[in-house]
Amino acid sequence: MTTVNDIVNKFEKFAPKWLAEKGDPVGLQLGDLTQTVHKMMVSLDVRPETVQEAIKNNVDFIFAHHPAMFHPIHSFDLSVPQNQMYAKLIKHNISVYAAHTNLDNANGGMNDWLADKLGLKHTEPLLGPKTEKMYKLAVFVPVKAADKLRQGLITAGAGNIGNYSGCSFSIQGQGRFIPQEGAQPYLGTLGQEETVAEEKVEVTFPAENKNQVLSAMYANHPYERVVYDLYQIEDVGEKCGMGRIGELSDTMSVEEFVAQCKEAFQIPTLRLISPDVTRKIKRVAVLGGSGSQFYTNALAKKADVYVTGDVSYHTAHDMLASGLNVIDPGHHFEWICQPELKRLFSQWAQTENWSVDVITTKINTDPFLFM
């Protein structure tokens, strides 16, 4: 049987929580990680209408981009529509998980999907970078016990570097110690100096694996007191960032690019800020959701046009004064995550042998009507 936790653990290897912006309530929002999942639904939003859709389709698990709960509930008043929605989720045993800015920052995640939709090439993060916190462990162990220890560390999540696994380094030398009263030494005699052929085993690992790697070290080491060095290392972990900037295959006018955006995001209309719609553009920045405050980053990276949602009136004036072309297709253009998430989870269901049916919401949760 497949649980919510099985699915979440796999996803968080793709978009770990450390990628989320400070204060963003990513993760399990409601429900039980141990719950068995037979059918899951991916959705941009968790709204009353999507919850009703999930109930109708016998869904056990909703995986959403936008959190259902941005703020804590202080009073569970069921006359409030949002609280009614939570009550329905609980009543029908539907767990909810949100992957918000961790998915936005992930390599191969939301902003790469947006860039691909726009046909951008040679992309790089618009903001950041965020760098994964990494540790190096150096542990001293008798030579005869080194292989067991090394394998235990690797099984616990150490030794992965890029596309390589099982990475470690060893060097042999002599260890010396004198067991004192009260010691129960694996080797040696109380009060006498002991010299042992030892191996220094070095491995690296991400911060999220720290507890399990250290637990594996203790579990697979024969000494009563383990001697080791542990320190943080820089510029080794995966680098990620919000938004993308890249280039179109061909130069086109702002007006032509507007038409391309409408087609890519399947929208009838959008908002445009432009000093000249005939201006030729090639370098494009994009940031999913609400990213108007980062238009200066787009300018700094020499973008000709910036695509993002929720541009406010006064910020639009500043953008116009700066000479930047800006396209606002609405916050809802992030809906493109839905087919991409379904594709990911369907692939993982096959490779991990999950007995889970993956569906996508059919409801358009954009609150705005264009008339």
Q: What gap in Å lies between CA 150 and CA 156, rounded to an integer?
A: 10
> How many angstroms separate the Cα of 208 from the Cα of each of 195, 237, 249?
36, 12, 39
Task: With CA atoms as reference, report the closest residue to 288 among 150, 115, 62.
Answer: 115
The answer on whether 332 is annotated among ligand-binding residues is no
Q: In the block, which residue shows the tokens 């947006």? A: 114
Measured over all CA atoms, what is the biggest interatomic distance in the chain, rounded to whole angstroms? Answer: 89
**Phi (first) and psi of residue 85, to 5 degrees:** -65, -45
The answer on whether 100 is annotated among ligand-binding residues is no
The angle formed by the CA atoms of residues 241, 346 and 94, to the nearest 5 degrees, is: 90
If DSSP codes are grouped into helix, strand and coil, which group holds residue 222? coil
* Token code pair at residue 247: 């280039």
Q: What gap in Å lies between CA 63 and CA 202, rounded to an integer?
A: 38
The answer on whether 104 is annotated among ligand-binding residues is yes
Q: What gap in Å lies between CA 310 and CA 144, rounded to an integer?
A: 62
The answer on whether 65 is annotated among ligand-binding residues is yes
Q: What gap in Å lies between CA 240 and CA 130, rounded to an integer?
A: 5
Q: In the block, which residue shows the tokens 């579990």? A: 219
Task: With CA atoms as reference, report the closest residue to 91 among 52, 40, 63.
Answer: 52
Q: Annotated binding site for a divalent metal cation: which residue ranges? A: 65-66, 104, 331, 334
Q: Annotated binding site: which residue ranges? A: 65-66, 104, 331, 334
